[in-house]
Structure 1
Amino acid sequence: MTKQWVAPRPGGSEVLEYIDTDVRPPGPGEVTIAVRAAGMNPADTKHTRAAQADAYPMSIGYEIAGVISAIGPDTQIASGGGAVGDEVLAFRVPGGWTEELTVPAADVFAKPASLGFPEAANLLLAGTTAADVIRVTRASGRDTVLLHGASGAVGVSVLQQLRPLGARVIGTASERGADTVRRYGGEWIAYGDGLEARLRDLAPHGIDVAIDAVGTDEAVDVSLALVADRDRIVTIAGPGRAAADGFAAVGGVQPESKAFRDSVRQRLIDLAAAGQLEVPVARTFPLADARDAAELLESGHPGGKLALIP
């Protein structure tokens, strides 16, 4: 028996229930992980709000870090090997807000010793999303990149992944996020009235790429005004505007994005192991307090990544 959070019906943090459930023993190609930290992402409760009726009760959470407690016969994890007691992380998996979980071994990777469990549990959803928007926009060292929402989890990962390429990145954020943008190699600019004019002054030779991680009309309108090639504009939060205005929107359920994100997981883990990809964790909560943590997540101002600790 283990404890797990589920959404029994459509809704956000207000509908979540903490239930007892059985842990299925691992078969061939599977491992069971004793969870030491569960990552938290806006998608966790976003997806509980509007699924098909037959999806409920819906388990919650897509990424975890922990210790292998059982391994199926003739099974290796994605990074090779794997034995009971090994420290690992896993993404993308169903139902990560739990104490113990059986998952496909193909989604499990050795955890770098230098990475704490809360950091490891929050590395890959944001990291693979960031890698995906860089892929779609073809951002390179020759480019000036406008990054909306630069102090958020995806934005921070974009900044770090673009830094070795030498791209110039101008990142929008509130004044509270300014130091975060600068810490990870971006040039901070406040969003709000006059953003387009201020950006034209800051980048008189133009903006080559725009990455939108917030989905506001301001972010989209400014991006369309400043970037000549709409193939080099992408959003992760404004699919309606993307469809209406003819630029890209990416999401993990899209087949091409899913395949790419799965393919870069080990590379991102290696970057984190080398100290080249940090995961700022603002706060951890006991697993039993997941509803409180989800309320903070839904506020839109968690101040960094959150993790649940069984």
Structure 2
Amino acid sequence: MQEQSDQRRCRAVRLGSFGGPDVLEVREVPVPRAGPGQVRVRVTAAGLNPMDWIMTADADTAARFGLSLPAGFGTDYAGVVDQVGDGVTRFAPGDRVFGGALSRAVAELVVVDAAGRGAADEARPTPEGLDDRTAATLTIAGATASAALAVIEPGPADTLLVGGAAGGVGVFVVQLARIAGARVIGTGSAASSDFLRDLGAEPVAYGDGLADRVRALAPSGVTAAIDLYGTETVQAARELGVPDGRICTVAAQVEGVSAANGANAAPGALDEVARLVAEGRLRVPIAATFPVAQIRGAVELQAGRHVHGKIVVDLEGPRDEAGARGSTRMTG
């Protein structure tokens, strides 16, 4: 996206090369201006997702997402509209919004398409009762969870096996499936058992023998499965007799099994997720919050894949703020 700028400066996370967390830098960059059909958002919080660091890890992967250097970082954000471009009537300065800005969300100011072009470039009204930190976690994980559940359409007659249930997408899948009336069995580590129970899932340890452990929990059978991490849950589901048409993957491709992508979420799906959170029917576990100055530490923690819930980067606060803030909490 081409962005006009003025002479002022603002902070943004930038990559001078593709790689791990050590290439991330907080820089002073020109303040962008909203062009025709665009809005500028003063970001208060940005949520992290695995795709953020996966797609910037190397040049070949970045190219598949249309990224080139110098690049920004992060996709999910929440904040307040502070400038609208010509022709924009949907938003006005002062409106609270959340959405996606592909690989540029971790910045004090971002410019996005007011009409919305999917999770990579959009703004949505933030519902009353939904705080910015929580809103900043919804776009990628909420849309991905909705798309995965749309593949299998769980209901009260279903027992759903969810692989990687304690992760950022898993917390949405588990709760949305429970809202739909399904019984949910979620894989995780021993340390995640209480966390999964709190979400409404019955925990089961991943690893060798998964199918046998699930069979002991659900002797009447499993009817559907979503694998959010790899292929282990797919293999266990097949062993348990689940047909391929009721199995879905997110992080891997398996022949005969549908793969879900947040970009394919149904229109209105993310707004429904936000409404459920605002109403307190769906909870978002925020594992930790970091000031933007500690972006490398935030990404290192997120990339470790052992976080229960979401990690949020705060864009407000002193410019020399250091250290992580907060601990695991349930919001909503």
TM-score by length of 2: 0.84
The answer to whether the 8 Å contact 2:16/2:69 transfers is yes
Q: Tell whether the 8 Å contact from 2:167 to 2:305 is kept in structure 1 after alignment.
A: no
**SS at the partner of 2:212?**
helix
Q: Look up the match of 1:287.
A: 292
1:87 corresponds to which of 87, 96, 120:
96
Deviation (angstroms), 1:58 = 2.0
Is 1:143–2:153 an aligned residue pair?
A: no
Residue number in structure 2 paired with 1:306: 311
Whichever residue aligns with residue 62 of structure 2, its letter is A
The residue that corresponds to 2:259 in the other structure is: 249
**SS at 1:307 equivalent:** strand
2:75 is matched with: 62
**Which of residues 116, 128, 136 in structure 2 aligns to 1:121?**
136
Q: Which moved more, 1:82-91 or 1:167-176?
A: 82-91
Return 5+ residue gaps in structure 1 as ranges. 253-257
Equivalent position SS for 1:22: strand
Deviation at 1:197, TM superposition (A): 1.2
Decide whether the 8 Å contact of 1:7 with 1:60 is kept in 2. Answer: yes
Q: Against the structure 1 CA distance between its residues 56 and 224, is the aligned structure 2 distance closer, same or farther, given a 3 Å change threshold?
A: farther
Read off the aligned partner of 1:11 and give its amino acid letter.
G
CA deviation profile, 1:253-291 (whole Å, cap 9, x unmatched): xxxxx2425542222221122112221111111111101
> What is the aligned length?
296
AA aligned to 1:237 is: A
Give, in whole Å, the separation in 2 of the partners of 1:14 and 1:190. 33
Asked whether the 8 Å contact 1:210–1:227 carries over to 2, the reply is no
State the one-letter code of the partner of 2:83.
A
Equivalent residue letter for 2:202: E
CA contact (8 A) 2:162 2:233 kept: no
Q: CA deviation at 1:183?
A: 1.5
Identity over the aligned pairs, expressed in percent?
37
- Is the alpha carbon distance of 1:89 and 1:224 closer, same or farther for their aligned partners in structure 2, counting shifts above 3 Å? same
Residue 170 of structure 1: CA displacement? Answer: 0.8
Q: Does 1:183 align with 2:183?
A: no
Amino acid at match of 1:97: V
Partner of 1:234: 248
Separation in structure 2 between the aligned mates of residue 48 and residue 192 of structure 1, nearest angstrom: 29
Q: Give the partner amino acid of 1:90.
A: G
Mapped partners of 1:44, 1:54: distance in 2: 12
Question: Quick one: which amino acid aligns to residue 153 of structure 1?
Answer: G
Deviation at 1:54, TM superposition (A): 6.7
The SS at the match of 1:197 is helix
More helix by share: 1
User: 2:167 is matched with which residue?
Assistant: 152
Determine helix, strand or coil for the equivalent of 1:280.
strand
Equivalent position of 1:96 in the other structure: 105
Q: In the alignment, what sits opposite 1:255?
A: none
Q: CA offset at residue 134 of structure 1? A: 0.6
Selected match of 1:219 from 220, 229, 233: 233
Question: Structure 1: how far apart are the matches of 2:302 and 2:264?
Answer: 27
Give, in whole Å, the separation in 2 of the partners of 1:96 and 1:151. Answer: 24
Residue in 1 that maps onto 2:3: none
SS in 2 for 1:31: strand
AA at the equivalent of 2:300: E
Give me the whole-angstrom Cα distance separating, in 1, the residues matched to 2:104 and 2:147. 23
The letter of the residue matching 1:284 is: T
Paired residues of 2:226 and 2:233 also in contact (CA < 8 A)? no
Q: Secondary structure at the match of 1:97?
A: coil
> Is residue 2:38 matched to residue 1:30?
yes
Deviates more, 1:40-49 or 1:25-34: 25-34
**Contact 2:171–2:309 (8 Å) recurs in 1:** no
Moved over 6 A (4+): none
- Within 2, Cα distance between the matches of 1:198 and 1:260? 32
- Per mean C-alpha deviation after superposition, the further-off stretch among 97-106 and 51-60 is 51-60
Which of 202, 219, 240 lines up with 2:217 in the alignment? 202
In structure 2, runs of 5+ residues without a counterpart are 1-8, 117-121, 316-332
CA contact (8 A) 2:101 2:112 kept: no
Q: Name the residue aligned to 2:325.
A: none
CA RMSD, Structure 1 to Structure 2 (Å)? 1.9
* Partner SS for 1:76: coil
Displacement of 1:296 in angstroms is: 0.9
Q: Is the 8 A contact 1:30 1:75 kept in 2?
A: yes
**Structure 1: distance between partners of 2:214 and 2:291:** 42
> Residue 167 of structure 1 aligns to which amino acid in structure 2?
A
Q: Distance in 2 between matches of 1:279 and 1:269?
A: 10
**In 2, Cα distance between equivalents of 1:228 and 1:291:** 41
